[in-house]
């Protein structure tokens, strides 16, 4: 699988570490229930999904990669910097 | 010349005879032969015994689809079983043996198993030998394993080497037949980057076997010209002996056989190369595989696919029979009759299940007897074919033959189009599955697309080659238009002839018959996936290349469905067998993963150190001295030296991350559970890092060397994980913080200098330039001091509990530093120590390490709950506050010591209250680490015990059934040595 | 006070395999090197200051800029790896030049650097590099941070001959040489180090 790193260009997926769904945002207000949701609850969509990948063997950027969970089609990747920190 | 070698024609070199042996018998073939063609030329028809019934079997095909002619190639550790005779290239000294026969190929005792064949039908594994169960392991399974199966593995490690390679192109062409060559030529001429794969050793595909013409040139001549033209293009790479085996997400896997055809392997040459190919566009031009017909005795040696017979005749000039009949439902079968006539050996008869045959096709047979609307009901013979029984308008007739060419249709080789989950479509016109929905960037050309004529193949290749070149920005100026000789590929529906007396095989390799399919249906296994698993149809090494459509057709008829209603099984990679070694490449044995060496490695080797793997690192485990009986004696000496004098240990492997920026303090406060924003310049502090779920992730010290110069250390094995985590925290969680960080693990060689004489040693090293007095450089101080031409970092931190320092220099000076430390410490009795002594001392001090930082412990479990700040937010705070994680009954860190001195403790032993039964229900925790404490003179342990701290003084059992251990231990404070902590100042 | 002798990452690892003439690997020991990471929002300013210090254009991307005294390699967003010819003051000078806009971390001893050349080099690289090194696509202006045989490397091209340079964490030098030797195979390899 090739991932189009916005900095490095297309790279083999073996250069990346997978994190998971990019949607959950770390709650900032100390709400334990919200934190439990953030830590544990994940959707499992069949279709395009934004995910966090880390380009460990490359530019060391955390990326938001859009991958179709049904067939691994990757439609894009962008730096996480544009992703926002908190809900 | 061999008995069945034609005097003229073919693409073999009659001037280059090649000696080889089959079952120990010396034979001669020619350069250009495969093993199969050489066997055919030598008149050898019997090449193996079948999987289940041990029936005699011959060569069926001339390509990788071969189900029968599997042989063991090579001797000793090099022996490779189940190698297809049709793909082995002949070389001098090739040594092969037939398989699955005992004591010999011609006389096989177990062929008698055929008499018991009613027992061996579909599902027999599931239904037979069910009881008594005790007999299964001792009797049934060994007996079945002996009787069934294919070749034997060598049982020895693979002595060959393999490598991997990666390549990129605009157009990848799989298959160098007419369609593939047309695509490669068309795109290659534009300058587009092309890679052309061919599994055979020669380009051309069917052009090498058939009497077709392109632009008035015979096939082989056109191929030669095409190959010569391709060779002039720098942008075209041709890989022969290279089989594509899988279509994966965005890449294609292929294996190139580099030395399998060589008598002598050049030094350093790997056996095979595993390619990962990334192409903008891929054209699958893998051709089609002829389909056999299921009828009685259809497995007799001498019965061969019609196109394969043509290949043996016209490519290899080898005669696969002297009196051959053709049984066909396709126009192509008639071309085999023509080929025999051209070779001067007219066929005995052509039997076609169809009645309407084009006159041009009918003419191919000349004046030999023709039976239209007829079928072969039975093939008769033993170890070779002697006659066929034909049924038709004439009634039944027996025809004496020694060979039968069979053509039931063509299956496009579309497996790669289904590897990513796409389904093929049944074509009523072609009577075959053809590609339908397709993965992006994959196109199919020629016979692989169900477009069987030469003209269609060339046109497809040219069209798809041009499209790929255009997509690469290299548009075709003048599209090639090759003229192909006329041919037809009409086919009639014939999969199965019922009513024969002999066994009618659907899957030759797994010995699955039409009766097995019928039985499967009777027993309710009517889904194609169930049929496959119940009968094993299509599950052999040939993956049903020649059998699956026939099986499906029989299943369809028995269940009253059409073939498309019945479905098809989906192919998964690999498309052909690939040696496991090829996937490993050079990453085997000690090179399974990279090894990292510290700057002092060479020095430690000189000292005779024993090394241990720690993550990817090799670390000195202990330094044995002459006269020491075992590791314990060496380690005990090293611990004693540190506790009484001074020792040196390489700690470079700990992860080191440099941090700077205005917000480092705030950042560290958020990633550690304790506070770092108050850390002054010149100080180091121990930190505990949690995961967001509240469990401990890692620990280490962070030192502030300058106003904007921090270095954070991690454990050796977690260094990469922590770096990734910190990058996550910075980039994903808090991009607003102005922090810069980078790993400097490799920049610094770092050594622990520990023991009451450590300061004396360092003072000797640094000289008067450094003031190491406790006033100037107290516990937890850090600083930078000149050392020769460089600057050394010094940290006063201790893992051993003794006065200790860690000294770091740029790694290039690491080797020199360890030598300088040994010189500086010579008069102080300096002793190098390894990870084992390090571990003993940390256990004596109750310091947690990997065994306790196991991802299942929270700070409180480790006695570190006080470190968790209440004044700030940090990763893991909220989740660590959960009630269940603060339950006092959670296993918590304690020390353990035996109640009887001299008893050895072992890590992994489980804790039980005295008198409690040894059951999982009464489990109260386990021993995480143990060591022999030289200072105490007995074994000690650390463990995680339910309500541990409340139970100091209690006696419990340490139960270790796997190693037969069951000892009473006393629960004690986990800090065995110097609980007051005075020695770090000593 | 002790004086210490400096050793390169490939020290003692030099040797010849096979005919030795397919690929030549020469260690570049003693280079000064530093990681430069721009402060938050200062990537452009850092690039500009790097450029003005060395007299060439520096961009925030996987690109190489080179002069007689320095090589600047883009290795990540707002991050560069800078090599200087042997000069004990190189990193300190860089730090001073970038004060306030970037962190400068000395890595002079962290990386082992080889220059690779030889007629068989392209086929050797193909056995480890999973990126497209076609001469039209990967030029002396390009840099790739990638992996070879599970070892993280920084790869760049010095000239179109081609001569490549590969930098990797020095602890991996022996493992990397194993990949080099094995992959060079019958082509032959000579490794030259101190």
Closest CA to B521 of B562, B555, B549: B555
Q: Is B483 within 8 Å of chain C by CB? A: no
Tell me whether residue B859 is in a domain.
no
Closest CA to B98 of B154, B39, B152, B47: B47
Say what the pLDDT of residue B548 is. 92
Tell me whether residue B873 is in a domain.
no
Cross-chain residue pair A57–C77, CB shorter than 8 Å = no
User: What are the φ/ψ torsions at residue B267 (nearest 5 degrees)?
Assistant: -55, 130
How many whole angstroms separate alpha carbon C140 and alpha carbon B34? 47
Cross-chain residue pair B724–A73, CB shorter than 8 Å = no
Nearest residue in B to A32, CA atom: B878
**A66 strand-pairing partners:** A50, A76
- Counting one residue from chain B and one from chain C, the pairs whose CB atoms sit within 8 A come to 161
Q: Please write the tens of the pLDDT for every residue from C25-80.
A: 999 999 999 999 999 999 999 999 999 999 999 999 999 999 999 999 999 999 99
Tell me whether residue B476 is in a domain.
no
Dihedral over alpha carbons B314, B318, B322, B324 (to 10 degrees): -50
The SS3 of residue C177 is: helix
Check whether residue B109 and residue B196 sit in a common domain.
no
Check whether residue B44 and residue B134 sit in a common domain.
yes
**B743 strand-pairing partners:** B657
When pLDDT is averaged across residues A13-24 and rounded to a whole number, the result is 96
DSSP state at residue B972:
E
Interface of C with B in 156-185 (CB under 8 A): 169-176, 178-179, 182-185
How many whole angstroms separate alpha carbon C63 and alpha carbon B759? 48
Rounded to the nearest 10 degrees, what angle do helices B758-766 and B814-824 cross at?
A: 120
Q: What percent of chain B stands above pLDDT 90?
A: 88
Tell me whether residue B850 is in a domain.
no
Q: Answer whether B200's CB lies under 8 Å from B84's CB.
A: no
When pLDDT is averaged across residues B309-318 and rounded to a whole number, the result is 98
Say what the pLDDT of residue B117 is. 60
Closest CA to B763 of B754, B772, B775, B755: B772
Q: What band does A87 get if pLDDT is binned at 50, 70 and 90?
A: very low
Cross-chain residue pair B736–A19, CB shorter than 8 Å = no
Tell me whether residue B526 is in a domain.
yes
| The two three-digit tokens of residue B51, written as one number | 């999987």
Cross-chain residue pair C62–A7, CB shorter than 8 Å = yes
| The two three-digit tokens of residue B845, written as one number | 């001090």
Statement: residue B101 has pLDDT above 90: no
Check whether residue B670 and residue B698 sit in a common domain.
yes
Total of domains in chain B: 7
Statement: residue B686 has pLDDT above 90: yes
Say what the pLDDT of residue B228 is. 98
Say what the pLDDT of residue B377 is. 97
Cross-chain residue pair B738–C182, CB shorter than 8 Å = no
Check whether residue B15 and residue B113 sit in a common domain.
yes
CA atoms within 13 A on the CB side of B94: 31
Q: Which of C1, C7, C40 sits opposite B787 (nearest CB)?
A: C1
Give the number of other CB atoms < 10 A from CB of residue B291.
28
Give the number of other CB atoms < 10 A from CB of residue B936.
14
Statement: residue C1 has pLDDT above 60: no
Q: Is C126 within 8 Å of chain A by CB? A: no
CATH 3.30.710.10 fits C32-106, yes or no: no
Q: What distances in angstroms separate CA B572 from CA A52, B246, B414, B416, B569, one per listed residue?
A: 29, 8, 11, 8, 10
Q: Please write the tens of the pLDDT for every residue from B900-928.
A: 989 999 999 999 999 999 999 999 999 99
What are the structural domain ranges in chain A? 2-82
How many whole angstroms separate alpha carbon A31 and alpha carbon B499? 77
| The two three-digit tokens of residue B248, written as one number | 């994966």
| The two three-digit tokens of residue B203, written as one number | 């380009």
Closest CA to B669 of B693, B687, B695: B687
Helix (H) or strand (E) holding C183: helix C173-184
CATH no. for residue B562?
A: 1.10.10.1100
Q: Answer whether B412's CB lies under 8 Å from B432's CB.
A: yes
Q: Choose the weakest-confidence range: A37-41, B74-78, B695-699.
A: B74-78
Closest CA to B56 of B508, B577, B531: B508
Q: Which of B743, B768, B787 is the last residue of a domain?
A: B743
Say what the pLDDT of residue B18 is. 98
Statement: residue B844 has pLDDT above 50: yes
**B444 strand-pairing partners:** B284
Cross-chain residue pair C186–B268, CB shorter than 8 Å = yes
Q: Choose the weakest-confidence range: B102-116, B910-924, C161-175.
A: B102-116
Q: Please write the tens of the pLDDT for every residue from B794-839.
A: 999 999 999 999 999 999 999 999 999 999 999 999 999 999 999 9
| The two three-digit tokens of residue A75, written as one number | 């439609």
Helix (H) or strand (E) holding C3: none
| The two three-digit tokens of residue B977, written as one number | 């040595």
* Distance of residue A36 Cα from the nearest chain B Cα, in angstroms: 7
Tell me whether residue B490 is in a domain.
no
Check whether residue B144 and residue B42 sit in a common domain.
yes
Match 């029936």 to its residue by tokens: B55
Helix (H) or strand (E) holding B183: helix B178-188
Length of chain A: 87
Cross-chain residue pair B163–C8, CB shorter than 8 Å = no
* Distance of residue B594 Cα from the nearest chain C Cα, in angstroms: 6
* Distance of residue B615 Cα from the nearest chain C Cα, in angstroms: 13
DSSP state at residue A31:
-
How many whole angstroms separate alpha carbon B941 and alpha carbon B804? 23
Check whether residue B149 and residue B37 sit in a common domain.
yes
Query: In the CATH hierarchy, which fold is given to the domain comprising C15-29+110-192?
Result: Gyrase A; domain 2 (3.30.1360)
CATH no. for residue B933?
A: 2.40.30.110
Match 């090894």 to its residue by tokens: B595
* Distance of residue A13 Cα from the nearest chain C Cα, in angstroms: 10
Say what the pLDDT of residue C179 is. 96
Check whether residue B321 and residue B186 sit in a common domain.
no
DSSP state at residue B719:
H
CATH no. for residue B353?
A: 3.50.50.60
Q: Which of A32, A71, A80 sits opposite B878 (nearest CB)?
A: A32
Q: Is C152 within 8 Å of chain A by CB? A: yes
Check whether residue B222 and residue B343 sit in a common domain.
no
Say what the pLDDT of residue C18 is. 85
Tell me whether residue B952 is in a domain.
yes
Cβ density class B279-290: b for 16+ within 10 Å, e for less? bebbbbbbbbbb
Q: Is C107 within 8 Å of chain B by CB? A: yes
Q: Concatenated DSSP letters for B494-555?
A: --B----SS-BEEETTTTEEHHHHHHHHHTT--SHHHHHHHH-TT-STTTTTTTHHHHHHHH
Check whether residue B624 and residue B725 sit in a common domain.
no
| The two three-digit tokens of residue B381, written as one number | 């013979």
Cross-chain residue pair B731–A52, CB shorter than 8 Å = no
Closest CA to B368 of B324, B407, B305: B324
Check whether residue B641 and residue B663 sit in a common domain.
no
Q: Are strands B655-660 and B740-743 parallel, antiparallel or unpaired?
A: antiparallel
Q: Concatenated DSSP letters for B397-429?
A: EEEE-SEEEEE--EEE--HHHHTTS---EEETT
Average pLDDT, whole number, for chain B? 94
Statement: residue B284 has pLDDT above 90: yes
How many whole angstroms separate alpha carbon C128 and alpha carbon C118? 16
* Distance of residue A47 Cα from the nearest chain C Cα, in angstroms: 28
Cross-chain residue pair C62–A57, CB shorter than 8 Å = no
How many whole angstroms separate alpha carbon B170 and alpha carbon C136? 13
DSSP state at residue B730:
I
Q: Which residues contact B903 (CB under 8 A, 6 or more apart)?
A: B938, B939, B967
Say what the pLDDT of residue B137 is. 67
Closest CA to B268 of B259, B277, B276, B260: B259
Statement: residue B384 has pLDDT above 50: yes
Superfamily of domain covering A2-82? Folate-binding superfamily (3.30.2270.10)
How many whole angstroms separate alpha carbon B668 and alpha carbon B453? 71
Cross-chain residue pair B692–A26, CB shorter than 8 Å = yes
Q: What band does A84 get if pLDDT is binned at 50, 70 and 90?
A: very low
Check whether residue B539 and residue B674 sit in a common domain.
no
Give the number of other CB atoms < 10 A from CB of residue B499.
11
How many whole angstroms separate alpha carbon B808 and alpha carbon C106? 14
Q: Answer whether B241's CB lies under 8 Å from B233's CB.
A: no
Dihedral over alpha carbons C126, C132, C136, C140 (to 10 degrees): -80
CB-count exposure of residue B115 (10 Å: 0-12, 13-18, 19+): exposed
What are the structural domain ranges in chain C? 15-29+110-192, 32-106
Tell me whether residue B580 is in a domain.
no
CATH no. for residue B780?
A: 3.30.1360.120
Neighbours, chain C (3 or more CB pairs < 8 A) = A, B
How many whole angstroms separate alpha carbon B646 and alpha carbon B641? 6
How many whole angstroms separate alpha carbon A63 and alpha carbon B85? 50
DSSP state at residue B580:
H
Q: Which of B420, B727, B734 sits opposite A71 (nearest CB)?
A: B420
Give the domain extent around B16: 1-154
| The two three-digit tokens of residue B482, written as one number | 């090759």
**What ipTM describes this predicted complex?**
0.97
Give the N- to C-terminal CA distance of chain A in Å, as an integer. 31
Q: Answer whether B288's CB lies under 8 Å from B63's CB.
A: no
């Amino acid at each position: 699988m090739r991932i189009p790193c916005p900095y490095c260009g297309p790279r083999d997926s073996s250069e990346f570490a997978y994190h998971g769904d990019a949607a959950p945002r770390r709650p900032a207000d100390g709400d334990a229930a919200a934190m439990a949701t953030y830590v544990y609850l994940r959707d499992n969509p069949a279709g395009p999904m934004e995910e966090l990948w880390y380009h460990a063997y490359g530019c060391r950027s955390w990326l938001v990669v859009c991958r179709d969970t049904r067939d691994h089609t990757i439609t894009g990747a962008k730096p996480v910097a544009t992703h926002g920190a908190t809900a | 010349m061999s008995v069945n070698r034609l005097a003229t024609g073919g693409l073999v070199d009659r001037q280059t005879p090649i000696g080889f042996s089959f079952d120990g018998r010396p034979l001669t073939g020619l350069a250009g032969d495969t093993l199969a063609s050489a066997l055919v030329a030598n008149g050898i028809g019997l090449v193996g015994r079948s999987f289940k019934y041990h029936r005699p079997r011959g060569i069926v095909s001339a390509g990788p689809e071969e189900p029968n002619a599997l042989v063991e190639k090579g001797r000793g550790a090099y022996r490779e079983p189940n190698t297809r005779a049709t793909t082995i290239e002949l070389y001098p000294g090739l040594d092969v043996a037939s398989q699955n026969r005992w004591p010999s190929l011609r006389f096989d005792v177990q062929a008698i198993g055929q008499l018991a064949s009613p027992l061996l039908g579909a599902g027999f594994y599931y239904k037979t030998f069910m009881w008594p169960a005790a007999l299964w392991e001792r009797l049934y399974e060994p007996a079945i394993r002996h009787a069934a199966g294919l070749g034997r593995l060598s049982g020895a490690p693979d002595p060959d080497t393999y490598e991997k390679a990666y390549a990129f192109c605009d157009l990848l062409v799989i298959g160098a037949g007419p369609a593939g060559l047309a695509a490669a030529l068309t795109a290659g001429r534009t300058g587009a980057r092309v890679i052309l794969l061919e599994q055979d050793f020669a380009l051309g595909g069917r052009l090498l076997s058939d009497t077709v013409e392109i632009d008035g040139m015979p096939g082989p001549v056109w191929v030669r010209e095409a190959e010569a033209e391709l060779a002039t293009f720098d942008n075209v790479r041709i890989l022969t002996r290279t089989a594509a085996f899988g279509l994966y997400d965005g890449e294609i896997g292929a294996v190139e056989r580099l030395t399998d055809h060589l008598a002598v392997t050049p030094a350093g040459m790997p056996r095979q190369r595993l390619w990962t190919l990334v192409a903008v566009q891929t054209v699958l031009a893998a051709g089609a595989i002829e389909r056999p017909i299921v009828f009685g005795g259809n497995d007799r040696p001498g019965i061969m696919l019609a196109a394969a017979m043509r290949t043996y005749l016209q490519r290899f000039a080898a005669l696969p029979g002297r009196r051959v009949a053709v049984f066909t439902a396709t126009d192509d079968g008639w071309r085999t009759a023509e080929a025999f006539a051209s070779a001067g050996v007219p066929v005995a008869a052509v039997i076609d299940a169809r009645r309407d045959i084009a006159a041009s096709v009918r003419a191919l047979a000349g004046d030999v007897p023709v039976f239209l609307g007829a079928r072969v009901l039975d093939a008769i013979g033993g170890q070779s074919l002697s006659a066929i029984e034909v049924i038709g308008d004439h009634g039944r007739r027996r025809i004496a033959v020694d060979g039968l060419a069979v053509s039931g249709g063509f299956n496009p080789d579309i497996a790669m189009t289904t590897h990513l989950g796409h389904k093929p479509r049944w074509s009523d016109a072609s009577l075959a599955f053809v590609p339908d929905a397709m993965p992006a960037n994959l196109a199919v050309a020629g016979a692989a697309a169900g477009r069987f004529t030469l003209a269609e193949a060339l046109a497809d290749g040219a069209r798809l080659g041009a499209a790929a070149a255009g997509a690469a920005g290299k548009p075709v100026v003048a599209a090639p238009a090759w003229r192909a000789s006329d041919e037809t590929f009409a086919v009639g529906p014939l999969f199965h002839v019922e009513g024969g007396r002999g066994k009618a095989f659907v899957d030759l390799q797994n010995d699955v018959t039409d009766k097995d399919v019928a039985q499967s249906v009777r027993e309710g296994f009517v889904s194609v996936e169930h049929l496959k698993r119940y009968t094993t149809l299509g599950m052999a090494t040939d993956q049903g290349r020649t059998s699956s459509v026939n099986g499906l057709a029989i299943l369809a008829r028995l269940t009253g469905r059409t073939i498309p209603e019945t479905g098809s099984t989906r192919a998964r990679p690999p498309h052909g067998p690939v040696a496991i070694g090829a996937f490993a490449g050079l990453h085997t044995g000690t090179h399974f993963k990279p090894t990292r060496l510290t700057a002092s490695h060479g020095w430690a080797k000189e000292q005779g150190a024993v090394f241990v793997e720690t993550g990817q690192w090799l670390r000195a485990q202990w330094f044995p001295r002459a006269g020491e009986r075992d590791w314990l004696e060496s380690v005990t000496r090293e611990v004693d030296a540190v506790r009484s004098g001074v020792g040196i240990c390489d700690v470079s492997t700990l992860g080191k991350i440099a941090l700077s920026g205005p917000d480092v303090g705030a950042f560290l406060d958020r990633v550690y559970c304790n506070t770092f924003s108050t850390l002054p310049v010149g100080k180091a502090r121990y930190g505990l890092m949690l995961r967001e779920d509240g469990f401990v992730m890692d620990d280490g010290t962070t030192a502030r060397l300058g106003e904007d110069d921090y270095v954070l250390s991690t454990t050796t094995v977690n260094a990469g994980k922590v770096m990734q985590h910190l990058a996550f925290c910075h980039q994903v969680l808090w991009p607003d913080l102005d922090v810069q960080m980078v790993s400097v693990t490799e920049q610094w060689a770092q050594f622990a200098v520990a023991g009451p004489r450590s300061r004396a040693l360092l003072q000797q090293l640094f000289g008067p330039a450094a003031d190491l007095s406790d006033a100037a450089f107290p516990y937890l101080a850090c600083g930078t001091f000149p050392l020769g031409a460089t600057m050394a970092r010094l940290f006063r931190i201790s893992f051993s509990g003794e006065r200790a320092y860690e000294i770091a220099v740029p790694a290039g000076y690491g080797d020199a530093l360890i030598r300088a430390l040994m010189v500086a410490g010579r008069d102080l009795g300096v002793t190098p120590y390894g990870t084992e002594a390090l571990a003993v001392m940390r256990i004596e001090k109750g310091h947690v390490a990997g065994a306790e930082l196991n991802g299942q412990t929270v700070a409180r479990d480790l006695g570190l709950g006080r470190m968790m700040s209440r004044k700030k937010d940090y990763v893991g705070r909220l989740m660590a506050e959960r009630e269940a994680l603060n339950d006092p009954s959670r296993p918590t860190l304690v020390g353990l010591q035996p109640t009887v001195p001299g008893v050895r403790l072992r890590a992994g032993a489980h804790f039980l209250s005295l008198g409690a039964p040894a059951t999982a229900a009464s489990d109260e925790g386990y021993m995480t680490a143990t060591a022999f404490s030289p200072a105490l003179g007995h074994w000690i342990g650390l463990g995680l015990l339910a309500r541990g701290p409340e139970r100091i003084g209690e006696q419990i059992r340490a139960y270790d059934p796997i190693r037969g251990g069951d000892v009473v231990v006393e629960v004690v404070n986990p800090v065995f040595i110097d609980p007051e902590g005075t020695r770090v100042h000593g | 006070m002790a004086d210490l002798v400096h050793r390169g990452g490939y020290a003692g690892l030099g040797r010849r395999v096979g005919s030795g003439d397919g690929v030549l690997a020469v260690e570049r020991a003693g280079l000064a090197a530093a990681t430069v990471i721009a402060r938050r929002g200062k990537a452009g300013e850092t690039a500009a200051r790097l450029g003005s210090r060395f007299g060439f254009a520096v961009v925030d991307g996987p690109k190489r800029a080179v002069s007689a005294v320095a090589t600047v390699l883009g290795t990540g967003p707002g991050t560069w790896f800078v090599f200087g010819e042997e000069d004990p003051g190189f990193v300190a000078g860089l730090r001073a030049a970038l004060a306030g806009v970037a962190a400068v971390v000395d890595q002079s001893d962290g990386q082992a650097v080889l220059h690779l050349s030889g007629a068989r080099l392209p086929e050797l690289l193909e056995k480890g590099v999973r990126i497209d090194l076609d001469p039209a696509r990967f030029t002396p202006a390009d840099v790739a941070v990638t992996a070879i045989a599970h070892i993280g490397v920084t790869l760049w091209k010095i000239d179109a001959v081609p001569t490549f340079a590969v930098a990797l964490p020095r602890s991996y030098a022996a493992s990397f040489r194993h990949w080099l030797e094995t992959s060079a195979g019958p082509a032959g390899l000579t490794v030259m180090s101190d």
